[in-house]
Amino acid sequence: MKTPSSLKLTPQQVLNALGLLLSSSILSISSLAAAETSPQELKEVEVTAEKESDTKPVKGYQAKRSTTATRTDSELVDVPQAITVITRDFIQDQSMQSIADAVRYVPGVQAAQGEGNRDQLVLRGNQTTGDLFVDGLRDDIQTYRDLYNTDRIEVLKGANGMIFGRGGAGGVVNRVSKKAGWDPVRDISVSYGSFEHRRIAADYGQGLSDELAFRLNAVYENSNSYRDGVELRRYGFTPTFTIRPGDKTQIELSAEYFKDERIADRGVASFIGADGSNLNNRPYRISDYDKFFGNARLSPTETETVAFNAAITHAFDNGVQVKNSTRLAYYDKYYQNVYARSSVTTGGTVQLGAYRDNTKRENLINQTDITYSANTGNIEHKLLAGAEFAAQNTDNKRLTPAGGENLPGNFSVANPTTSNVAFNTTSRDQTSDFTVAAFYLQDQIVFNPQWQAIVGLRHDHLETRYTDLRNGTNLDISNSLLSPRAGLIYKPTENSSIYANYSTSYVPRAGDQLIGLNVTSATFKPEKFINKEIGAKWDITQNLSLTAAVYKLERENVLAVDPSNTGNSILLDGQETTGLELGASGKITDQWQVMGGFTLQNGEITETLANTDAANVINKGAQLAMTPTRTFSLWNKYQINDMWAVALGVVSRSEMYAATPTAGNSTILPGYTRFDAAIFAKINPQWDAQINIENITNKDYALFAHNNNNITPGAPLNARATLNYHF
C-alpha cells in the first residue's frame, strides 16, 4: 500500500481534478439558486385593521390622545395634568344636551345654577362662566351651549394660563367640534320624553371631491320642564367644510347660528331655622320641586350666537408645522328675572326682586401655533411657539324697577309671585374694550423611555378700556402677565406615568368679570391662581384608563360679592382648594364599558374678610360655595348581545354650601345619591333606539344653587326615548 507521501500526480492529472471540482461547484450553486427561485406555495395570511374615521376619531368611552393640554397631539398618559375627555359615544348614551349634563361624571367639577341663564361651572372650588372654549378658542359669553355640533368635550383641571391665557384658573372646558371629512355621516335623531321634551337633530356629511368635504349639523328643540311655567326653545345649524389642496395642507371652515330661548329659572328659596336664625338654612320644601318663586312669564332669557371659524394647517418639508386659527363671534343676550331675594321666614313670607339685563359682545381671536421636533444628542424635543391676538368689545346695561331690585313688601309663600313689575330705572350702563397680545413657548422633552418633562412660559399684554356711560367714568388699565408651567413625568412602563406639575394663571377684569363689578382702579387687579399637582395615569389595558391626582390650588386677590351689600364687590385675600381625584374610562370587558370619577376635596377661605359688618364677616376657614367634600359618579353599560344593551348610573355628592358661609348666613344643600338607567336596542343597521331614565327612585334633592336663596330642585323621575336613523 502506498502512503500519501509517496503518492505522485502529474500536472495534467492536477488540472483535470481542478476542472472537475470547479464544474461540480458551478452545478451545485446553479441547483441551489434554481431551488431558491422556484415558486413556493405559502399559506394565505389576512391582515385586518379598523379604518380610522375622519368624522369620528374617538370611539367608545376612552380617549387616549388630546391637544387641549399642550396644543400638540399628545398621548394623555404623557400629559402631566388631570384631564377628562367626554366622548361622543358617552354623550349619546347619556342623552346629554348641555355642559351641566356632561360634567356630572368629571371628578373635581360641579355645575352651578348660573341664575338660570347660563352655563356656570365650579372647577376645583372656583366658579366660572368664562373658561369655556371651542376648538381651543375662547367662547365666553354667559349663555347655554348645546352639544348638537360637539364631537367630544375635554376638561382640563388646574391653572392653565400658559396654554389658554387669561382665565383657565380652576380649569377649562374645551368643546371639540364635529369636523367635515370623507367618511360619510348620515344621522337623524328624534327624542320625546317627560314634561313634553321634544327634540330633533340631524348630522349629514360626505366628501364632495378628493379635495373637499362637507358636513351640516342642525338641531331644534321645544320642551317644557318639571318646574311650573319653565320652558325651552332652541335651534341652530353649523355647516363645516374641510379642504385639502395638497397632502401637507388642510383648511377647515365653519359657521354657526344658534338661538336659545327659555325661562330664567332661579329655583326655590331657602328656609329660616325653627329658632328664627339664619343658621343651618335648608332649601324650602324641596319636595315642592315645581313651585316657581317670582314670575316665570316675566323671566325670559334669549341668546343669539353668530360665529365664524377658520383653521389652516400646513406641514413644511423641513418638519415645521404651522396652524393658524381665527374665530369671529357675535353674541346678543337678553334676560330678566323676578325671583326670591330672601329666605322664607317662619311667618311664611318671602321678599322678591327683579331686574333686566342686556349684553352685546364681539370677539375676534387669531392664534398661531408653530411646532417642530428636534434632537439634542439623545434627547428629543417637541417645540411649540405661538402667538395670540384678540379683541373683545362688550356693552352691558341693567334696568330695575324704580325702587331698585328689591320689590316692596313681603309675599306669601303660598303664592310667591307678582306681576306688578316695571323696568324703568338704569342701574348699570357700561362698555369695555379689551385687547390681548400674547406670545408663548413650550418644550416637551423626552430624556429617555422613562423620563419626560414639559416646560413653558407665556406672556400676555392686556389692555382694558372701561367707560361708565351713566357718569362718564373712564378707566384705562394695562397688565403684563407671565404664566409659567413645568411638569416632570416618570414612566415605569410605556402605558403608565407618574407626574408632578406646577402652573399658574391670571384672571384680569374683562368681559364678564366687569359685569356687576364695583369699578375702581384697585378692583382691576387680576386674580392669580397657582396649581400644584401630583398624579398617576395607567392604561391598564388597551381599552381601559385609570387616573389619579392630588392637588393644591391657591387663589389670590379674589373678587367676591360683599355679603353686607350685594351691590358692591370686594377683594378677598385668598382661598385654597386641596383634593384627591380618581377617574376611570373605557372597557372592563368587551361587553362592559364604564365612565366615572371620585373626588375628595376641601375648599376654604385663607384670610378673614374684615371690611364688612360683623354679622356678615367671612372668616378664615369658611368653606367655599358649591364645593362638596365628596363626589362620586359611575356609569356602566353592558352589551348583552348584538341587539340589546343596558346601563346603570349613579351620581352622588356630600352636602355643600350654596354660598360661602358668613357669620349669619349659610344655606346648606343636603347631599344626595341618584340612580339613572338606560336600555338600548340595535334594531337593524339603519335603526337604533334608547330609553334613558333619570332618578329612578324618584328622590327629592337639591341639584345646585346660585346663592343662599336661589336653589334648583333636582328633577323627579323622568324618562326620554330617542330613535336614531342612519341612512
661, 622 Cβ separation under 8 angstroms? yes
pTM exceeds 0.85:
yes
Q: Which stretch of 211-215, 248-252, 462-466, 579-583 has the lowest confidence by average pLDDT?
A: 462-466
Of all residues in the chain, what percent carry a pLDDT higher than 90?
Answer: 73
What's the pLDDT score for residue 10?
Answer: 47
Amino acid 564: pLDDT? 47
**Cell numbers given for 395:** 356693552
CATH class of 65-726: mainly beta
Query: What's the angle, vertex CA 631, arms to CA 630 and CA 635, rounded to 5?
Result: 155
How far CA 176 is from CA of 90, 120, 324, 404, in Å, comes to 14, 19, 16, 42
The candidate with the shortest Cα–Cα distance to 233, out of 255, 216, 258, is 258
- Confidence band of 27 (pLDDT split at 50, 70, 90): very low
Work out whether the CA dihedral 53, 54, 58, 64 comes out positive or negative: positive
Instruction: Check residue 18 and give its pLDDT.
Output: 35
DSSP, collapsed to helix, strand or coil, labels residue 717 as coil
Write the Ramachandran bin of 661: left for phi over 0, alpha for psi from -120 to 50, otherwise beta.
Answer: beta
Of residues 279 and 440, which shows the higher confidence score?
440
In whole angstroms, give the CA distance from residue 130 to residue 109.
Answer: 15
Quickly state the pLDDT bin for 187 (edges 50, 70, 90). Answer: very high
> From CA 424, how far away is CA 403, in angstroms rounded?
10
Amino acid sitting at position 710: N
The reported pLDDT for the residue numbered 37 is: 45
Does residue 36 carry a pLDDT above 80?
A: no
Query: For 700-716, how does the pLDDT look when each residue is reduced to its tens digit (9 = 90+)?
Result: 999 999 988 899 999 99
Specify the pLDDT at position 462.
93
Instruction: Give the pLDDT confidence score for residue 32 in this predicted structure.
Output: 33
pLDDT digits (tens, 9 = 90+) for 649-690: 999 999 999 988 776 567 899 999 999 999 999 999 999 999
Each residue of 89-107: pLDDT tens digit? 999 999 998 999 999 999 9
Instruction: Indicate if the pLDDT at residue 17 is higher than 50.
Output: no
Q: How far, CA to CA in Å, does 335 sit from each of 267, 558, 589, 681?
A: 16, 27, 48, 41
The DSSP 8-state label assigned to residue 291 in this structure reads P
Quickly list H helices, 242-358.
Answer: none
Taking alpha carbons only, the member of 623, 675, 671 closest to residue 649 is 675
Residue for grid cell 371639540: 176
Give pLDDT, residue 51: 61
Return the DSSP state at 671: -
Does residue 718 carry a pLDDT above 90? Answer: yes
Per-residue pLDDT, 68: 86
Q: Which residues contact 219 (CB under 8 A, 6 or more apart)?
A: 146, 148, 149, 199, 200, 201, 202, 234, 235, 236, 237
Q: What ranges do the domains of the chain cover?
A: 65-726
Residue 348: CB atoms within 10 Å: 12
Q: What type of residue sits at position 708?
A: N
Alpha carbon of residue 149 to chain centroid: 14
